[in-house]
């Protein structure tokens, strides 16, 4: 489904608070309760929220959001993160770009680069970069997820292991306070782990909403990446872990130069 700006804000509020109420949302957006009920019904029909009496709740940690909704959540923050990651990657480099809406923002920010070799299991990234001059795009083989164009499975893992690249750009669906990077799909996680193992410099890109989420499958620990780029990190434990592990923490603020911790 297409998610409106108001619906995207409702999803983000439900994610932060755990639930949203019809009357509160109607007052906040200056619309009728009937309008909010329709929004909630549409979002629940699309399995983005779960309906309760008088409102809706955010799905459990074992459930991921639909791709269209994820694209619209923190869109400006993802764009800033993408630009900060692209600034780290030099021209004439080789790199992996993994599945995710934030990694796609990095791909978009790389369109001005030249002589890149981009290996990806993300069809959206491949389609965007394949038309760029002096850009070599290599697509992993495997099972294509209909939901988001991600390529997963053992075939993709075996393909990734053939390479040793300069940089890897990875995302995560959730980041625990103990530094665990988490996701929902075990097949996707196996590909991400192969990407981390076969890159000289690993860049984790994740907006600050990922600190508020949970997911059931472990990708890695934050200590296994070299650079972590987010829009804002208010987690003392994550800051401490980055400092102790030598991970460069970059906060990419909208409209401002990135801040390196």
pLDDT per residue over 108-162, tens digit each?
999 999 999 999 999 999 999 999 988 999 999 988 988 788 999 999 999 999 9
The pTM (predicted TM-score) of the whole model is 0.78
The pLDDT value recorded for residue 76 is: 87
Yes or no: say if 64 and 173 are a contact pair by the CB < 8 Å rule.
Answer: yes
The pLDDT value recorded for residue 62 is: 46
Around Cβ 81, how many Cβ atoms within 10 Å? 30
Largest CA distance in the chain: 57
The pLDDT value recorded for residue 72 is: 66
d(CA 77, CA 230): 8
The pLDDT value recorded for residue 70 is: 67
Residues of the chain with pLDDT under 50: 62
Q: Which helix (H) or strand (E) holds 235?
A: none
The pLDDT value recorded for residue 209 is: 84
Residue ranges of domains in the chain, CATH in brackets: 5-59 (1.10.10.10), 73-260 (3.40.50.1360)
**39 CB-contact burial (10 Å; exposed 0-12 / middle 13-18 / buried 19+):** buried
The pLDDT value recorded for residue 25 is: 96
- CB-based contacts of 126-133 (< 8 A; 24+ apart in sequence): 128/104
The pLDDT value recorded for residue 86 is: 96
Yes or no: say if 261 and 236 are a contact pair by the CB < 8 Å rule.
Answer: no
Around Cβ 52, how many Cβ atoms within 10 Å? 13
């Amino acid at each position: 489904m297409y998610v409106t700006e108001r619906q995207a804000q409702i999803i983000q509020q439900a994610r932060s608070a755990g639930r949203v109420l019809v009357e509160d949302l109607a007052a906040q957006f200056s619309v009728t309760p009937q309008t909010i009920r329709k929004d909630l019904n549409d979002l629940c029909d699309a399995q983005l929220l779960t309906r309760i009496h008088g409102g809706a709740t955010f799905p459990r940690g074992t459930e991921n959001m639909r791709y269209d909704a994820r694209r619209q959540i923190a869109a400006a923050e993802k764009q800033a993160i993408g630009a900060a990651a692209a600034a780290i990657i030099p021209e004439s480099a080789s790199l992996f770009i993994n599945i995710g809406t934030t990694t796609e923002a990095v791909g978009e920010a790389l369109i001005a680069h030249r002589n890149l070799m981009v290996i990806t299991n993300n069809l959206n990234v491949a389609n965007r970069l394949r038309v760029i001059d002096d850009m070599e795009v290599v697509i992993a083989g495997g099972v294509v997820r209909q939901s988001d164009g991600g390529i997963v499975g053992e075939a993709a893992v075996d393909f990734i292991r053939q390479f040793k690249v300069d940089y890897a750009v990875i995302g995560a669906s959730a980041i625990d306070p103990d530094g665990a990077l988490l996701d929902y799909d075990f097949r996707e996680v196996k590909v991400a782990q192969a990407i981390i193992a076969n890159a000289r410099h690993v860049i984790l890109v994740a907006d600050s909403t990922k600190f508020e989420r949970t997911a059931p499958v472990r990708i890695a620990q934050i200590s296994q990446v070299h650079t972590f780029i987010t829009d804002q990190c208010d987690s003392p434990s994550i800051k401490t872990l980055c400092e102790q592990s030598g991970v460069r923490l970059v906060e990419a603020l909208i409209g401002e130069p990135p801040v390196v911790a």
